Structure 1
Amino acid sequence: AKGFAIIVGQAERDPELAVSVGVRVDLPSELRRQLLRSATDAVRTRLLSRAPPHLFEEIQSAIAAVAIGAEREMSAVRDFEGAKRAIAGLKATGQLNEATLLGFARQRRYEETVAALAALSGSTVEVIRPLMQSLREDGLLVPCRAAQLGWETAMAVLECRFATGAMTPADIARTQGHFARMTAENAKRTLRFWQVRAS
């Protein structure tokens, strides 16, 4: 199983390998679920199309479980009050900055990341939260740009949305290009508009 764990780790970055490993009969179920958690929709679809009949149901139910888990994770009822207080405290003592946000995002401290991004972008948790719950990246780039964050921090914030798994290299490249083209002025304007709409 240790050999499989290594292959699954490599397959998370290689769609071709993911498909060929995912349909193997001797792959332990837990590792198949792990592979599916980080797989893109395209890889999941190909796995289903190539699955032998006796594995089809197992793969299908694993994909369903992963999807439910991701939705539950992203729409979980979260308590932002504590995070808001903590961030307000950091702001009051001049300790709230991009490095602080980067730390929260890297540790996947979801509530603190949302509250810190809201404070740094001059927005509110109510505006940032739905952007964090969306599977699309572009909305979340707006407050990141408005807060004048660097790409590394913006990327960490994007990744913080997921409990497990990560964006594909193609997604990252596309998103980085989008981020580079966005101006802070436009981002602030958009954010103000969303702010008015939310209130």
Structure 2
Amino acid sequence: VERARANPALHAVTVERASLPPDLLNDMYFAVEARLRQRILEQNARLDPALLESALAAGRTRVAAEDGALPADYAESLAYVEELRAANQLTPQVLARFLRSGGQTAFLIALSQLADVDFHTARQIIERRELDALAVICKAADLDRALFLTYAVVLLNTDDNAMGKARAYAGMYNELTREAALRTLRFWRARKAMQAA
């Protein structure tokens, strides 16, 4: 898996390998192209719940040592997001406002709370503009397709044909089942659980 992450020629054979443990398969998600990401989602949807728990335990062991630096405005943004949450004003629409106004740290904190993933996973998804991964989070959180499309358009605003690209991702969002999204998200949530431990 480590070699495959750095070598695109190994992506397909690694993802397609039947004996690859589910936790390692899901570690490949952010390294592979969209077609292979779809295969990972399909395999997660078919995963036996007992095997899922075993794979999550293995994944938690690996992510326990991972860490990353937080942005300089993290504490201030966290306090603001918590204030909104306490006032019952933290909505998906507010997240869109954060994203539009350049409040990326507040958006990431709120997104990570909404989806129950760690901050670093949310940050990686947004900074790399991993819209298919954002679709997984939004679908698992049962957000409306229009909100996902709003997030996508804002993230793609500097691209040529941003609306067309966002619509293509919205089509993928429609095809993604909530069950497959929830199963995939459980692997990502392992990071947050390890940080809390």
TM-score scaled by length of structure 1 = 0.53
Contact kept? 1:117, 1:147, Cα under 8 Å: no
Which position in structure 1 is the counterpart of 2:98? 104
Matched, 1:175 2:146: no
- In the TM superposition, 1:1-199 aligns within 5 A as 79-161=73-155, 164-165=158-159, 168-197=162-191, 199=194
Q: Which has the larger radius of gyration?
A: 1
User: Relative contact order: is structure 1 or structure 2 higher (C-alpha 8 Å, sep ≥ 6)?
Assistant: 2
TM-score when scaled to structure 2? 0.53
Q: Is the 8 A contact 2:117 2:188 kept in 1?
A: no
Closer, same or farther in 2 for the Cα pair 1:185/1:85, shift >3 Å? farther
SS of residue paired to 1:141: helix
- Deviation by residue 1:96-140 (Cα, 9 ceiling, x = unmatched): 112222222232321121111111112221221100111432111
Q: Kindly indicate whether the alpha-carbon contact (under 8 Å) linking 1:87 and 1:115 is maintained by their aligned counterparts in 2.
A: yes
- SS for the counterpart of 2:184 is helix
Q: 1:88 to 1:167 in 2, by over 3 A?
A: farther
CA apart distance, 1:153: 1.8
Distance 1:136 1:118, change over 3 A: closer
Shift, 1:79, TM fit: 3.2
User: 1: CA distance between counterparts of 2:91 and 2:161?
Assistant: 25
Residue identity matched to 1:107: S
Residue 190 of structure 1 and its aligned partner are, at CA, apart by: 1.2
8 A Cα contact 1:159 1:166, kept in partner: no
Alignment partners' CA distance in 1, 2:94 and 2:159: 23
Alpha-carbon spacing, 1:93–1:135, altered in 2? closer, same or farther (3 Å) = closer
Partners of 1:108 and 1:160 within 8 A in 2: no
Alpha-carbon displacement from aligned partner over 1:37-93 (angstroms, at most 9, x marks no partner): xxxxxxxxxxxxxxxxxxxxxxxxxxxxxxxxxxxxxxx955323222211221122
SS in 2 for 1:96: coil
**% identity of equivalent residues:** 25
- Whole-angstrom distance in 1 between the partners of 2:96 and 2:77: 15
- Alpha carbons 1:145, 1:187 under 8 Å: kept: yes
Q: How far apart, CA to CA, are the structure 2 residues paired with 1:148 and 1:101?
A: 15
List gaps (5 residues or longer) in structure 1: 1-75
